[in-house]
Structure 1
Amino acid sequence: MLYRSRAVLAALWGGLLLCIAFVAAPSAFAVLERSQAGLLVGRLFALEAYISLAAGLLLMMMERRLGRDGGGPVFSVAMLLPAGALFCTVAGYFGLQPLMAAARAGQGGWSFMTLHALSFGFYGAKTLLVLVLAWRASKESGQSQS
Structure 2
Amino acid sequence: MSKLTTALAAVWLGMQIMAGYIAAPVLFHNLPKMQAGAIAGQLFAVLSYIGIAVWAPVLAVQISKHGSRTTIWLTGSLLAGLAANQFLVAPVIEAHKTHTEHWLLTLAGGSFGMWHGISSVIFMLCAVLAVIVLRRLFTQFSR
Q: Unmatched 5+ residue regions in structure 2?
A: none
Distance 1:139 1:6 in 2: 15
After TM superposition, the runs of 4+ consecutive aligned structure 1 residues lying more than 6 A away are none
Which residue of the partner structure matches residue 88 of structure 1? 81
Name the TM-score, length of structure 2 as normaliser. Answer: 0.86
- 1:7 to partner: Cα distance: 3.0
SS at match of 2:53: helix
Which residue of the partner structure matches residue 44 of structure 1? 43
- 1:9 to partner: Cα distance: 2.4
Q: Does 1:65 find its partner at 2:64?
A: yes
CA deviations on 1:113-138 (whole Å, 9 max, x unpaired) are 00000111111111111111111111
CA-based RMSD of the aligned residues comes to: 1.7
Q: Unmatched 5+ residue regions in structure 1?
A: none
Which protein has greater RCO, CA pairs closer than 8 Å, 6+ apart? 1
Which residue of the partner structure matches residue 139 of structure 2? 139
Which of 1 and 2 has greater Rg?
1
Aligned residues: 136
CA deviations on 1:25-49 (whole Å, 9 max, x unpaired) are 1111122111111111011011011
Which residue of the partner structure matches residue 23 of structure 1? 22
| C-alpha distance 28-84 of structure 1, shift in aligned 2 (>3 A) | same
Match of 2:72 among 60, 72, 79: 79
User: Percent identity at matched positions?
Assistant: 25
Distance 1:39 1:104 in 2: 10
Distance 2:70 2:110 in 1: 34
Distance 1:7 1:104 in 2: 36
Is the contact between residue 6 and residue 58 of structure 2 (CA under 8 Å) also seen in structure 1? no
